[in-house]
Amino acid sequence: MRSTEIDRRTFLALCSAASLYPLSVANAAEEALFLGARLNGGGFEAAVIDAAGNDRLVVPLEARGHSFAIDLPRRRAVAFARSPGRFAVVFSLDGKDEPRAFAPPPDRHFYGHGVFTPDGRLLLATENDYDGERGVTGLYDATNGFRRIAEFDTGGVGPHEVVLMKDSRTLCVANGGILTHPDYERMKLNLPTMKPSLAYIDSETGDLVEQAELAPELHQLSIRHMVLDGFGVVWFGAQYQGEDGARPPLVGRHRRGSEIELFTGPEATLKALDNYVGSVSTDLSGEIVATSSPQGGIAVFWDASTGKCLGERRLEDGCGLAPLGKGRLIETSGRGAIIRTGPKGAVEAIRREASNVPAWDNHLRRI
């Protein structure tokens, strides 16, 4: 396995061969900017784009990236490797500082997601303790070179996305329930005994303060991605690991102290999701939740207050979602398309699918 120093040298070599386009920050706070990972001309990178799809900052990555932790007050972000990757890159959103790579311990790997504490002192990242067969949240000192200082047990295996609740202290971790080990690449080792959950963890003590689980018959519904709606309630998207012919609900909502609620929408919509939700976001108001399926080439929209399905829009291999305005989102695809979308109004193409444009990975974040 690679050490942090090797990761750093690899990253610097990439930087010397690639261009970093500085962000124009004079009016950055007033305009919509978005951050995503992508494949461009055979190389992997993180890119900040504006609402017209123009590059504002490009940061090279040594391998495929997944999602990001964003520290907006300090204008920086961390790009995480896709699981079972072992690199992360911190960079300034204005392009002024040299990006820096760091890594988890040799017996851990990232799951592609993380979050900063509000004061910017700590970065928390979901990780795999694969020999211990448990999920952990790694704590990194963001004031001291992102040195790893501690870890919290997530109360399950396969932790994926982590979000910070509205109290600015409690973490919600999506324990996907799937056991993996890097010796077996991405092989799923425990499908018959999966136990996904939502785990609420005190970020100051590491205590597991609440855990919500699915009904036993849905134990193969892997909870992966989450978003907080405008009411501060967790919405999630899942990926089904059971029989091909089954069509369980893939979208859920959880209010603290209550049972998980699941939503199916119309039968044809559920079928179109193809047992896979790859990303979850809201519109800018937080009143509409969007869930995407690159396998199905569909994004489905939900009323955050009622759970009612509001409609769907098609985009081949579309997955990345981020809020653009009230009732509107931006969606990116693995075929290079960028669109404006939502439950109402026309889908507007910003960039069309083409063979010579960057192919976007699963997540897009508004900054």
Give Cα 318 to chain centroid, integer Å.
Answer: 14
pLDDT, position 10: 44
pLDDT, position 70: 98
* Residues in the chain, total: 367
Can you give the CATH number for the domain in which 288 is found? 2.130.10.10
Residue 231 lies in a domain: yes
Residue 38 lies in a domain: no
Residue 340 lies in a domain: yes
pLDDT, position 19: 45
Are 319 and 362 a contacting pair, CB within 8 Å?
yes
Residue 310 lies in a domain: yes
| Cα–Cα distance, 252 to 240 (Å, whole number) | 13
Q: Is 184 helix (H, G, I), strand (E, B) or coil?
A: helix
Residue 176 lies in a domain: yes
Q: Determine the structural domain holding residue 237 and report its residue range.
A: 105-366
- Phi and psi dihedrals of 24, rounded to 5? -80, 110
| Cα–Cα distance, 103 to 147 (Å, whole number) | 9
Three-state DSSP string of 188-249: CCCHHHCCCEEEEEECCCCCEEEEEECCHHHCCEEEEEEEECCCCCEEEEEEECCCCCCCCC
Residue 353 lies in a domain: yes
Residue 122 lies in a domain: yes
pLDDT, position 243: 93
Longest dimension (CA), the chain: 54
| Cα–Cα distance, 47 to 136 (Å, whole number) | 28
| Cα–Cα distance, 327 to 303 (Å, whole number) | 10
Structural domains in the chain (count): 1
pLDDT, position 30: 67
pLDDT, position 71: 98
CA angle 263–268–269, rounded 5-degree value: 45
Of the candidates 22, 101, 104, the residue with the CA atom closest to the CA atom of residue 63: 101
Residue 4 lies in a domain: no
What are the tokens at 335? Answer: 């075929």
DSSP lists the bridge partners of residue 173 as: 162, 199
| Cα–Cα distance, 69 to 286 (Å, whole number) | 20
pTM summary value: 0.92
Q: Which parts of the chain register pLDDT below 70?
A: 1-30
Q: What Cα–Cα distance (Å) separates residue 300 from each residue in 162, 314, 344?
A: 22, 9, 12
